[in-house]
Each structure stands twice: as C-alpha cells, then as structure tokens.
C-alpha cells in the first residue's frame, strides 16, 4: 500500500512538472510570435539633417522594403497600421519623419520655402541608404506631398522598383509632377478621390503620361493616407499590387 501511495505521488509530481514546463515553453512560443512594433532609428542626410524613422522588420521577409513618406505637417506614425500589414505580407517598411516634421531636425515646416520642399528628396535618399545596408529591394509609398516627392525621387534613382502614390498633386508647394510623370518608367499605383480636387484634377495628366499605371479612384475617400480610414481595403489593394510588381 505504501509503495502504491509513493508511486502515485511520483506520478503526480512528474505530471505537475511536465505541465509547468509545457506552460513555460508555450509562453516562449507566444513571446516569439508577438508582432514587433518597429524599431525607432535615425540617420543623417547629405546636407546634415537628422531624420527620425521607424524600421518595421518582417518576421518572414521577402526581400522588398517600402519607404513610407507622410503628408505635409503630419508624421511617420500615420503609416503605422499600414506598415504592420506590410510586415504580415513579408515586406519590410521604413517610415520617416521628413525634415521639419515630427522628431526630425531642420527648420519647422511652418517656415518652409519652396526650396525646402525640394530638399525632401534628400531625406528619401538617406532612407534608401539605410535599406541598402539591409540588402533590400527598394520601393516607395507616399501621401500628398510625400507622393510627389516619391515620384520625383524615383525618376532620378533607378534603384527604386515601384512607387505608390496616394493623392499626388500636379503642384504641391512647388514640388511638381506634371513633367516628371512623363519620365517615370517603373510601375505606379495611384489612388485619388473626387472629393479631393487638388489631386483628382491631375488624373488626365497622369493617365496620359504614366505608361505603367494602376489607378484606383474613389468618390468619398479624402486625401492621402486618410483614405485608409473610409476604405481599409485600399491597403490590401496596394499590397497585392506590390506583390505582383516586385516579387
């Protein structure tokens, strides 16, 4: 009888130990699977401006990175939800604060001249240099003046393989696209809404100028990255297009 009791105790203790070990291992697995919120980093432009950024590294990278450019007087945080969706699809993402915006250095955007807006491409160049160090194929997505900047940068930089334009304009603060849209050769995804005439009025020009164009139009989407709010499906449209054009 005593041996039976002792055996039962041993079995019980062994079972408890196994359950504790299993719980710990399950906790480790859950910790590994927890999505990353992005790493805050910074780097300098060629003209000495410190650029604040967040690098979102996919857990299953496909070798393509997307530089995310925000709207005027906004910040990189506007891209956070979309960056998470990019990561889920295997894309790395690098969202930057333009100079004069958010946590980046330089004169405040409220004091920008047209020449300051022209220098935003230097911020994109610094972001591209960072992704080059990660050995990642480069694409760019921008909203509003970020879209204009993305297009103009891609025209001058053959390393850029595709560009996403959310509510570009023919002329935002002196950053024009009517001429550069004739020169672009890489695939372009463009979304615009008719309730945003500053962007929508340029559609005829872009359709005539851009040879490889994927166009999505809305009637009630608003401007730039704000379009993700009323139309969350836009994110998946962009990601599906990026897969087709870059993978």
| Sites in the chain below the pLDDT cut of 70 | 1-36
CA 153, CA 217: separation in Å to the nearest integer? 24
| Domain segments of the chain as ranges | 1-34, 36-246
The answer to whether residues 242 and 66 touch, using CB atoms and an 8 Å cutoff, is yes
| CATH (residue range 36-246) | 3.40.50.1820
pLDDT at 130: 94
| Span 165-223, pLDDT tens digits | 999 999 999 999 999 999 999 999 999 999 999 999 999 999 999 999 999 999 999 99
pLDDT at 187: 98
In the chain, helix, strand, coil percent, each to 5?
45, 20, 35
pTM for this structure? 0.85
pLDDT at 21: 46
Sign for the CA dihedral angle at 81, 240, 190, 181 comes to: positive
pLDDT at 134: 81
Place of tokens 């230097």: 122
């Amino acid at each position: 009888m005593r041996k039976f009791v002792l055996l039962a105790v041993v079995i019980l203790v062994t079972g408890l130990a196994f359950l504790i070990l299993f719980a710990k291992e399950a906790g480790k697995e859950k910790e590994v699977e927890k999505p990353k919120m992005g790493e805050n980093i910074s780097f300098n432009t060629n003209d000495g401006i410190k650029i604040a950024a967040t690098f979102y590294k996919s857990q299953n990278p496909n070798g393509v990175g997307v530089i995310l450019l925000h709207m005027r007087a906004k910040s990189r945080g506007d891209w956070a939800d979309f960056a998470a969706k990019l990561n889920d699809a295997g894309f790395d993402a690098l969202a930057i604060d333009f100079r004069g915006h958010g946590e980046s250095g330089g004169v405040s955007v409220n004091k920008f001249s047209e020449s300051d807006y022209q220098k935003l491409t230097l911020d994109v160049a610094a972001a591209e240099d960072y992704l080059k160090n990660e050995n990642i194929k480069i694409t760019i997505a921008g909203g509003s003046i970020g879209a204009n900047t993305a297009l103009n940068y891609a025209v001058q930089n053959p390393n850029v393989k595709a560009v996403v334009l959310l509510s570009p304009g023919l002329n935002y603060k002196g950053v024009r696209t009517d001429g550069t849209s004739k020169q672009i050769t890489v695939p372009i995804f463009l979304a615009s809404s008719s309730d945003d005439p500053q962007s929508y009025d340029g559609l005829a020009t872009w359709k005539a100028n851009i040879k490889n164009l994927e166009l999505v139009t809305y009637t009630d989407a608003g401007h730039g990255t704000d379009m993700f709010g009323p139309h969350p499906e836009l994110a998946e449209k962009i990601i599906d297009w990026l897969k087709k054009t870059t993978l």
